[in-house]
Chain A
Amino acid sequence: MNTWKLAFTNMKKSVSDYVVYFITLIFGVAIFYIFNAIGDQALINDLSESGYEIVQTMISLLTGASIGVALVLGFLIIYANNFLIRRRKKEFGIYLLLGMGKKQVSRILFCETLIAGLISLGVGLAVGILGSQFLSFLVGNFFDADLSQYQFRFSLMATIKTVISFVVMNLVVLLFHAATITKYQLVDLLSARKKPETNIVSGSWVNLILFVLSAVALGYAYYRVGFRGNEIYMKEMIRLILIGIVANMVLFRSLAGFLMEAVRSLKGFYHRKLNAFVLRQFCAGLRTSSITMGIICLMLFATILSFVIGFSMANQFQGSAREKTPVDFSIQRNDGVKVTDYFAQVGHSFDEWAKNGYVEVPVYAHQGLAFEQTVGGFIAGLKEQFPRAIFWGYPAEVMALSDFNSLMRVYGQREITLLEDRYAVACTFDIFRASRDQALQSGLEIPVGDAVLKPEYTSCWDEYLMMSGISLDTGTIIIPDEVAAKAVEEGILVAQNYIAAGDFKATSRSEKREADDLINQITVGGDKMNYAMNPGDQHMIAGTKISIRESNNGLAMMVTFLVTYVGVVFLLASAAILSLKALSESIDSQGRYDILKKLGCGGKMLRHALYAQIGVFFLLPMLIAGIHSVFGVSYAKYSLSSLLSIEAGYGILVTCIVMVVLYGGYMFATIRSSEKIVRI
């Protein structure tokens, strides 16, 4: 029998050992290919300019992420192979006993690794190529691209990248193997059983102290992050993250001993049915792999955090784009020149492209009132949250009621009614709205010339003046027309900004796109994404339906893909490692289950013991990662709140579904194979 044949038969025999490993590897290869192939998909070339830019940004981000993904997959391969070798020490021992040289055994292993690598690479690539077609439909969907032009594409670049990465990983594994085999003595290989001491966990006060210390440290980090988030700056954050990581590792190191001691003191529970056995089994498993478990817990935490935040963000980007673009365009000019006049000046008057019914309204700068005065005493909190903002002393922005209402009518938003000595505030930025609501409730008075206005409502009017992807209006004061007219006459209010909004004349998709491009050309020099860097004539901003939708959908897609890519790989790797570990535990405990059977333990009781053992093994790191995430998500929400307020509900839902399907799938499969291994 030659080496190849031996390798093949070996693998066929141990197919059940390899299943988890294979599936994970195939998924890994497929995902790696899919995300590296995104740039080459045909539909992406049909995207509009801004869509194309987003995809380019995304591709460079994904390439960066690929390095991390490759490292994680490499670690998985090495770990899994170590496990498989350990399982087969005895087999190798017998080969050596029969007179095979170590070199030859190494060669068998080499062949096996090669076969496993090639099969998973081949199948993975096939799955990946199919998957990437599906993904490009998704991309097209995000950008409303024309799907009728669709063609099947194969990305050579991505294939080469995938092949190289996996060849490198497998080479590293092979080196590992060669070293492993030559290191062992024959006697070690033949009696490949673990030392009995390693199976035993005895509780000690050291573990108890370590456990309490790590729990306290975690509690402290949780408290700082969850309840005192506003006091944390960069340096502090890094310190807290380090505390969290160390505490997490120490927690897992001491958990086995602590659990043992704690549960053992509950005599009634401990001696019920097979509880003592299960706890011993579980703790032994936890003890021998506390570092791995700790790392897996952190990986799960990272996955949950990025899933929840990422999916929520993506959902909001997409949702807000639909909600916040009722008309085709909104343009604002801030140098006192009317938008319509400027467009006429540059030779593209509104009559040419805007449908009748558009409006243009002035926004006044209040010469006697600074922005900060419109928030009263509640400005302090805002200044603390935005220490670098410079607009506190700028003149307050004011609109006349009828102007505001006509703009609202165009957008289809709610109109305001005001008594003659009252004012209202329109504000969409959550953080500012909170402070402004407080100011309104306190009855803060606003002077406009001779008039002193009282708040009409106790909360802000949550409607926008300009269409935009995210709600960042810091607040505009709406006052009665008569008061406004008088103040304009007296020079207290100066028309500083003009806002024009309405629909295009064009009806077809392509004509609308032309009009949209024109507006963007004139307002921001054509670069829709980066007008901060390339600001056109610097006095205008535009929010148009097409570009807002495209950039928001693009952002949504970018976040979704990035999060999916990294998160799914992390999750797969974690679940696969746990699964391999649990399976090897099951193999080690075969004899123990046999003893229980001889003692007359029923199948039901044994099954329950096995379920409990593996279930807890999978769910414990997930539970602790979940607790980490509660505080992690709340901090992430807080630190992103200056950009957008995250509704985590959607993200949590999607995360739960992904976790149940993937992680639960691995857990279920592990329980199934373990049942077979211990022959219940």
Chain B
Amino acid sequence: MTKVLEVFNLQKYYGSKGNLTKALDDVSFSVESGEFVGIMGASGSGKTTLLNCVSTIDVVSTGKILLDGKNITNLRGEALNDFRRDELGFIFQEFNLLDTMTAFENIALALSIQKVPAPTIKEKVEQVAAKLGITEVLDKYPYQMSGGQKQRVACARAVVTDPKLILADEPTGALDSKSSRMLLESLMTLNTGLGSTIMMVTHDALSASYASRILFIKDGKLFTELRREEGEERKAFYGRIVQVQSLLGGDAEELAE
């Protein structure tokens, strides 16, 4: 297996001298091609900062991030935009669909920005829509769709460009449980069916249980790592996640203080 993403000694500080907050403190890990990695942690643990650094939305303080062996921490300007456009796919909590455009156009936009010719666009959008089961909503506008449909459209937009890595930030945060399940199943389809590499940030154990590996972050540091065993039931995996979560939430020592 090739390593898609490698993170070495990543640090991210906020604030100035004397009042320094370490949002990320010496984080190192790697993601292999075709993996579905979950990143968990309480609010303020630094998981979103990590995602922002990997997605180049935020600038790292020290450390290195390699995507496909290429260091992305020193990209600037148009090169940075090009990188984000060509190598990454995003799924956001608030869907971030353009309300003025149909589902088809929203998905197509990701390709238009890459200057893909129109006939190819149509073909690709229809392909990915069929895989995610949203063919019948392609002509609808976001306000005519359910939350789950919107999120799957957002998924489609993220994968239609064949990115090396898909980054999902609390993708189920704004969905009811049924829609959440459908979305997560879509993500599974992307992962297993299309072989997409996914990195998902979440604080929800159920969502995380769909991943194949979970990194736990606490106070900006990598706390522990859980790997779903070969043939392990999702239910059992969920149980293990909840256990770690309760550890994360606070140990007995902290309670004693």
Residues of A near any B CB (own CB < 8 A): 196-197, 199-200, 267-268, 270-277, 280-281, 284, 592, 595-596, 598-605
| Contact residues in B for A272 (Cβ distance below 8 Å) | 112, 115, 118
Interface contact B142-A277, CB-CB below 8 Å: no
Q: Which residue of B lies closest to A280 (CB)?
A: B100
**Selected A-B contacts with CB under 8 Å, 9 pairs:** A197-B143, A267-B122, A271-B118, A273-B115, A280-B100, A596-B113, A599-B90, A600-B83, A600-B113
Interface contact B99-A273, CB-CB below 8 Å: no
Q: What separation, in Å, do the CA atoms of A275 and B99 have in the docked complex?
A: 16
Q: Which residue of B lies closest to A269 (CB)?
A: B118
Interface contact B92-A284, CB-CB below 8 Å: no
Interface contact A199-B100, CB-CB below 8 Å: yes
Q: What separation, in Å, do the CA atoms of A197 and B143 have in the docked complex?
A: 7
| Contact residues in A for B57 (Cβ distance below 8 Å) | 598
Stretch at the interface among B6-14, B58-66, B101-109, B223-231: B101-109
Interface contact A601-B98, CB-CB below 8 Å: no
Q: Which residue of A lies closest to B105 (CB)?
A: A276
Interface residue B141 (Cβ < 8 Å from any Cβ of A): yes
Interface contact A603-B81, CB-CB below 8 Å: yes
Interface contact B121-A271, CB-CB below 8 Å: yes
Q: A272-B118, A274-B112, A600-B88 are contacts. A595–B81 as well, Cβ < 8 Å?
A: no
Interface contact B112-A598, CB-CB below 8 Å: no
Interface residue B96 (Cβ < 8 Å from any Cβ of A): yes
Q: A272-B115, A273-B113, A600-B88 are contacts. A200–B96 as well, Cβ < 8 Å?
A: no
Report the minimum CB–CB distance from A152 to chain B (whole Å).
56
Chain B, 79-129, CB within 8 A of any chain A CB: 81-86, 88, 90, 92, 96-101, 105, 108-113, 115, 117-119, 121-122
| Contact residues in A for B136 (Cβ distance below 8 Å) | none
Interface contact A200-B141, CB-CB below 8 Å: yes
A interface majority secondary structure: helix
Q: What separation, in Å, do the CA atoms of A152 and B98 have in the docked complex?
A: 59
Interface contact A599-B109, CB-CB below 8 Å: yes
| Contact residues in B for A598 (Cβ distance below 8 Å) | 57, 84, 90, 92, 96
| Contact residues in A for B88 (Cβ distance below 8 Å) | 600
| Contact residues in A for B82 (Cβ distance below 8 Å) | 600, 602
Interface residue B78 (Cβ < 8 Å from any Cβ of A): yes
Q: What separation, in Å, do the CA atoms of A603 and B121 have in the docked complex?
A: 23
Interface contact B78-A271, CB-CB below 8 Å: no
Residue in A268, A273, A276, A604 whose CB lies within 8 Å of B101: A276
| Contact residues in B for A276 (Cβ distance below 8 Å) | 101, 105, 108-109, 112
Report the minimum CB–CB distance from A263 to chain B (whole Å).
12
| Contact residues in B for A284 (Cβ distance below 8 Å) | 100
Q: What separation, in Å, do the CA atoms of A646 and B105 have in the docked complex?
A: 52
Interface size class of B (residues with CB under 8 A): 20 to 34
Residue in B83, B97, B98, B112 whose CB lies within 8 Å of A271: B112
Report the minimum CB–CB distance from B109 to chain A (whole Å).
7
Chain A CB within 10 Å, residue with most, of B81, B108, B157: B81
Interface contact B78-A599, CB-CB below 8 Å: no
Q: What separation, in Å, do the CA atoms of A412 and B210 have in the docked complex?
A: 101
Q: What separation, in Å, do the CA atoms of A275 and B108 have in the docked complex?
A: 11
Besides A267-B118, A592-B99, 19 other A-B contacts (C-beta < 8 A): A196-B99, A196-B143, A200-B99, A271-B112, A271-B118, A273-B113, A273-B115, A274-B109, A274-B113, A276-B105, A276-B109, A280-B101, A284-B100, A592-B100, A599-B90, A600-B88, A600-B113, A602-B82, A603-B78
Residue in A267, A277, A592, A600 whose CB lies within 8 Å of B84: A600
| Contact residues in B for A200 (Cβ distance below 8 Å) | 99-100, 141, 143
The 4 closest A-B pairs by CB, nearest first: A600-B85, A600-B84, A196-B143, A602-B81
Q: What separation, in Å, do the CA atoms of A200 and B112 have in the docked complex?
A: 20
Interface contact B118-A270, CB-CB below 8 Å: yes
| Contact residues in A for B111 (Cβ distance below 8 Å) | 271
Report the minimum CB–CB distance from B163 to chain A (whole Å).
10
Mark B147-186 against chain A: 1 for CB-CB distance below 8 A, else 0.
Answer: 0000000000100000000000000000000000000000
Q: What separation, in Å, do the CA atoms of A388 and B109 have in the docked complex?
A: 67
Q: Which residue of B lies closest to A604 (CB)?
A: B78
Residues of B near any A CB (own CB < 8 A): 57, 78, 81-86, 88, 90, 92, 96-101, 105, 108-113, 115, 117-119, 121-122, 141-143, 157
Report the minimum CB–CB distance from B164 to chain A (whole Å).
13
Residue in B81, B118, B141 whose CB lies within 8 Å of A268: B118
| Contact residues in A for B142 (Cβ distance below 8 Å) | 196
Interface contact A600-B81, CB-CB below 8 Å: yes
| Contact residues in A for B118 (Cβ distance below 8 Å) | 267-268, 270-272
Q: What separation, in Å, do the CA atoms of A592 and B101 have in the docked complex?
A: 11
| Contact residues in A for B90 (Cβ distance below 8 Å) | 598-599
Residue in A197, A280, A592, A601 whose CB lies within 8 Å of B113: A601
Interface contact A605-B101, CB-CB below 8 Å: no
Report the minimum CB–CB distance from B174 to chain A (whole Å).
15
| Contact residues in B for A604 (Cβ distance below 8 Å) | 78
Report the minimum CB–CB distance from B142 to chain A (whole Å).
7
Report the minimum CB–CB distance from A79 to chain B (whole Å).
24
Report the minimum CB–CB distance from B83 to chain A (whole Å).
8
Report the minimum CB–CB distance from B229 to chain A (whole Å).
35
Residue in A196, A277, A281 whose CB lies within 8 Å of B109: A277
Q: Which residue of A lies closest to B157 (CB)?
A: A599
Q: What separation, in Å, do the CA atoms of A277 and B106 have in the docked complex?
A: 9
Q: Which residue of B lies closest to A602 (CB)?
A: B81
Q: Which residue of A lies closest to B142 (CB)?
A: A196
| Contact residues in A for B108 (Cβ distance below 8 Å) | 271, 276
| Contact residues in A for B84 (Cβ distance below 8 Å) | 598-600
| Contact residues in A for B98 (Cβ distance below 8 Å) | 277, 280, 592, 595
Q: Which residue of A lies closest to B117 (CB)?
A: A268
Q: Which residue of B lies closest to A197 (CB)?
A: B143
Q: A598-B96, A600-B86 are contacts. A277–B101 as well, Cβ < 8 Å?
A: yes
Report the minimum CB–CB distance from A49 to chain B (whole Å).
65
Q: What separation, in Å, do the CA atoms of A281 and B101 have in the docked complex?
A: 9
Interface contact A595-B96, CB-CB below 8 Å: yes
Q: Which residue of A lies closest to B113 (CB)?
A: A601
Q: What separation, in Å, do the CA atoms of A603 and B117 have in the docked complex?
A: 21
Interface contact B117-A199, CB-CB below 8 Å: no
Report the minimum CB–CB distance from B48 to chain A (whole Å).
14
Chain A CB within 10 Å, residue with most, of B92, B100, B109: B100
| Contact residues in A for B110 (Cβ distance below 8 Å) | 599
Q: What separation, in Å, do the CA atoms of A275 and B112 have in the docked complex?
A: 9
Q: What separation, in Å, do the CA atoms of A268 and B117 have in the docked complex?
A: 7
Q: What separation, in Å, do the CA atoms of A267 and B92 have in the docked complex?
A: 28
Q: Which residue of B lies closest to A270 (CB)?
A: B118
| Contact residues in A for B157 (Cβ distance below 8 Å) | 599
Q: What separation, in Å, do the CA atoms of A284 and B97 have in the docked complex?
A: 16
Q: Which residue of B lies closest to A268 (CB)?
A: B118
| Contact residues in A for B85 (Cβ distance below 8 Å) | 599-602
Chain B CB within 10 Å, residue with most, of A275, A598, A599, A605: A599
Interface contact A281-B115, CB-CB below 8 Å: no
Q: What separation, in Å, do the CA atoms of A603 and B119 have in the docked complex?
A: 26
| Contact residues in B for A271 (Cβ distance below 8 Å) | 108, 111-112, 118, 121
Q: What separation, in Å, do the CA atoms of A277 and B111 have in the docked complex?
A: 13
Q: What separation, in Å, do the CA atoms of A196 and B140 have in the docked complex?
A: 13
Report the minimum CB–CB distance from B122 to chain A (whole Å).
7
Q: A276-B105, A276-B108 are contacts. A602–B143 as well, Cβ < 8 Å?
A: no
| Contact residues in A for B100 (Cβ distance below 8 Å) | 199-200, 277, 280-281, 284, 592
Report the minimum CB–CB distance from B194 to chain A (whole Å).
19
| Contact residues in B for A603 (Cβ distance below 8 Å) | 78, 81
Q: What separation, in Å, do the CA atoms of A605 and B112 have in the docked complex?
A: 11
Q: What separation, in Å, do the CA atoms of A270 and B86 have in the docked complex?
A: 21
Chain A CB within 10 Å, residue with most, of B85, B97, B109, B141: B109
Report the minimum CB–CB distance from A404 to chain B (whole Å).
75
Interface contact B143-A601, CB-CB below 8 Å: no
Chain A CB within 10 Å, residue with most, of B99, B101, B111: B99
